[in-house]
Amino acid sequence: MNRAVATHAPAMETVALRRTLGEGENALEILHGLDLVIRRGEFCAIMGPSGSGKSTLMYLLGALDRPSAGAVKIDGIETTRLPEAALADVRNRKIGFVFQFHYLMPEFSALENVTLPMAKQGVPAREAAARATELLGLLGLAGKERRLPARLSGGEQQRVAIARSLANQPLVVLGDEPTGNLDTRNGDLVFELFERLVREQGQTIVVVTHDPRLAARTQRIIRLMDGRIVDDGKPAEVLARAGERG
């Protein structure tokens, strides 16, 4: 579980990134030439109003979608023109995802849900179970490994999803509104976990959030408006310029 502390090396980069939906007169450009660098060990929030391109950017960073122009680099690998199989391999090895809804397999226990990504990577079952147990313990779920998702609270289910996102020791964890379906207390617990992972494990984490109070707990806010980066900096400063309070 130990990981190098934060460095200045890029974990992710975008270069003149564009995403357009539709063609001809019906074409709608969602992202307009974004240049962005996410450094290893950073905890970043992406903010902006609905329709600003936050989730589109997140899906491009996570190699779940392909840009219309420009480039996305993950750990120095230019992913834009990779064949689908190679792209899926980079995604599975380098990226962990946490979504607003946990998407756990309801018929599988917490432990089994966390071992699934490792099984897909060919990790031996005993090794996968040991790592899953370690992760669930790290996230405060020791003793609940054998419970089905239905027997866990909403906050506990999301913590299982976080453990699953960490299973293959990803370079970056991407969260698309990971607390959007949680109450304030459980949302705070999730961000406390993120802070601890960054501080103790050097994990790189990027989250989309609409909540300025939670965004204020990150190290950096990237603010989008109409598909462009309009601000990027320390949370207190970015929120002050946006007229929001953390």
pLDDT tens for 96-145 read 988 877 789 999 999 999 999 898 888 999 999 999 999 898 888 999 99
- Looking at residue 180, its pLDDT comes to 81
Crossing angle of helices 125-138 and 154-166, in 10° steps, is: 130
How many other C-beta atoms lie within 10 A of the C-beta of residue 231? 16
Comparing 39 with 169, the larger pLDDT belongs to: 39
Q: Mean pLDDT across the chain, nearest whole number?
A: 89
Calpha distance 17→13 (Å, rounded): 10
pLDDT at 181 exceeding the cut of 90: no
β-bridge mates for residue 59, sequence order = none
pLDDT at 7 exceeding the cut of 60: no
- Which pair of tokens denotes residue 214? 């939670």
pLDDT at 50 exceeding the cut of 80: yes
Instruction: Give the pLDDT mean for 166-173.
Output: 90
Share of the chain above pLDDT 90, in %: 57
Asked if 149 and 101 touch (Cβ cutoff 8 Å), the reply is no
Residue 72 binned pLDDT confidence (cut-offs 50, 70, 90): very high
Placement of tokens 């204020």 in the chain? 216
pLDDT at 15 exceeding the cut of 80: yes
- Looking at residue 246, its pLDDT comes to 55
Calpha distance 3→6 (Å, rounded): 9
Residue 21 binned pLDDT confidence (cut-offs 50, 70, 90): confident
Instruction: Give the pLDDT mean for 174-198.
Output: 86
Nearest to 179 by CA among 141, 213, 132: 213
Calpha distance 83→85 (Å, rounded): 6
pLDDT at 26 exceeding the cut of 60: yes
Share of the chain above pLDDT 70, in %: 96
Amino acid at 90: V
pLDDT at 42 exceeding the cut of 90: yes
- Which pair of tokens denotes residue 99? 């979504």
How far is residue 42 from each of residues 15, 51, 194, measured CA to CA in Å? 19, 25, 11
Instruction: Give the pLDDT mean for 178-189.
Output: 83
Residue 245 binned pLDDT confidence (cut-offs 50, 70, 90): low
Instruction: Give the pLDDT mean for 170-193.
Output: 86
- Looking at residue 177, its pLDDT comes to 87
pLDDT at 244 exceeding the cut of 80: no
Residue 199 binned pLDDT confidence (cut-offs 50, 70, 90): very high
Calpha distance 197→15 (Å, rounded): 28
pLDDT at 1 exceeding the cut of 80: no
- Which pair of tokens denotes residue 132? 């899953």
Domains of the chain: 10-20+28-242 (3.40.50.300)
- Looking at residue 4, its pLDDT comes to 44
Calpha distance 232→209 (Å, rounded): 15
Q: Is 231 helix (H, G, I), strand (E, B) or coil?
A: strand
- Looking at residue 212, its pLDDT comes to 93
Cα-Cα-Cα-Cα torsion 200, 202, 204, 206, nearest 10 degrees, comes to: 30
